[in-house]
Amino acid sequence: MGIQTHFNKFHDRIKLGRQDSAYKKARDRDDSIKGAVSSAFAAAGYPVVNDFIQGSFDTHTAIVPISGDYDIDRALVIDSAQAPANPVTPKKKTLEVLESRGFRNAKIKKPCVTADYASDNVHIDFIIYKRSPLNQLYLAVGKEHSDENNREWSPADPHGLTDWINDRSGYPTADAQAIQDQFRRLVRYLKRWRDEQFSPTVGARVYSIGLTVMVKQQLRHSFSMEGAPQDLQALRMTLDAIILFGGYFTPELAGRYRVRVPLPVLPWRDIFDGSSLDTGTQLYNKLDYLRRKLAEAEGLSDEREQCRILADLFGRDFEVPDPPKAGSKGRAVYPTAGIVSSSTGA
């Protein structure tokens, strides 16, 4: 057994797919509330013309939250001809519905309306777009009491971002799937690492999309000669690139750092726009520590030693195996096929 097997086990534990039952419950809650919001919009004269779930499911980078709170980014699209001029209007309508349906802490944030559903550990962000006749989406930006200067229908391209993340045209065709899979695993590892290593407040500002964009741009894939993934090396090399060549971190006074990661699609804004020096500094220092510890683990030959380091970084879902039992030598068990056709001769 090599270290990759442990990464695979870790990945199996943290990955979250659309069909996973833990997530299903959140989706059911989301579906019912979505229906209520849609009806309210229709009654107000701007019916929902399209809706989708934004974020990490379409990019296969979602992870099981350690807090147990499931996040859903629910996008609702209305037609631009029917949309109110004030982008905050549909957001207020959404807030009304949420409050009437028993959501806690419902509140209008700049890009969305956010709320926790108390009994189900579900956290839903409603994101409102209007759609122009040319299919351009505009995000409803603005807080409850924002004046005209601080609210707008801002051009956005959520599908373009998903496509950009899922794009593998830069990889050799035959290897693209394997490389993209490795990319997704690396993003999941980093997201779990963030959840483990940051306080909830700071962690909430280390945006998943920011990590995803950095990994996508700086990906250094790694595979054995036979094509077996080498996630440890790949993650370490990718982090090296992020820290050393990415240009995401600008040093400021007193060893502090500002982090900037521009969106790779419309509206090209900085994902970390408005984030504090404290966030940048913590992210820089922790990423740097992470890559050093990964390099240390790479240099070790003892698998359990390696796992101990990795468990410190990624948390308890990265399991440290029991010491091997002495003299356990038996027949190999072939878990997959019973018969395979062979292409050998002599």
> Given the rule CB under 8 A, which residues bind another protein?
1-5, 8, 172, 174-175, 178, 223-228, 302-304, 324, 329, 331-337, 340-346
Comparison of 79 and 175: residue with beta carbon closer to another protein: 175
- The H or E element containing residue 72 is strand 70-79
Q: Return contacts of 94-99, CB within 8 angstroms, 24+ apart.
A: 94/37, 94/40, 94/126, 94/128, 95/144, 96/40, 97/33, 97/36, 97/37, 97/40, 98/33, 98/37, 98/126
Per the CB < 8 A criterion, the answer to whether 171 and 180 are in contact is yes
Comparison of 60 and 130: residue with beta carbon closer to another protein: 60
Comparison of 116 and 303: residue with beta carbon closer to another protein: 303
Comparison of 85 and 332: residue with beta carbon closer to another protein: 332
Closest CB 237 distance from another protein, rounded Å: 17
Comparison of 85 and 337: residue with beta carbon closer to another protein: 337
Closest CB 13 distance from another protein, rounded Å: 16
Closest CB 176 distance from another protein, rounded Å: 12
Would you give the end-to-end CA distance of the chain in angstroms? 31
Q: Virtual CA dihedral for 271, 276, 281, 286, nearest 10 degrees?
A: -60
User: Residue 33 region, left (φ>0) first, then alpha (ψ -120 to 50), else beta?
Assistant: alpha
Half-sphere exposure at residue 250, Cβ-oriented, CA atoms within 13 angstroms: 8
Comparison of 130 and 184: residue with beta carbon closer to another protein: 184
Closest CB 327 distance from another protein, rounded Å: 10
Per the CB < 8 A criterion, the answer to whether 306 and 3 are in contact is yes
Q: Which two tokens stand for residue 186?
A: 């690396």
> Residue 68, class by beta-carbon neighbours within 10 Å (0-12 exposed, 13-18 middle, 19+ buried)?
exposed
Comparison of 4 and 166: residue with beta carbon closer to another protein: 4
Rounded Cα distance, 219 and 235, in Å = 8
Closest CB 293 distance from another protein, rounded Å: 20
Angle at 137 between CA 153 and CA 77, to 5 degrees: 90
Comparison of 231 and 240: residue with beta carbon closer to another protein: 231
Closest CB 168 distance from another protein, rounded Å: 15
Rounded Cα distance, 61 and 208, in Å = 9
Count of CB atoms situated within 10 Å of the CB of 2: 12
Closest CB 64 distance from another protein, rounded Å: 22
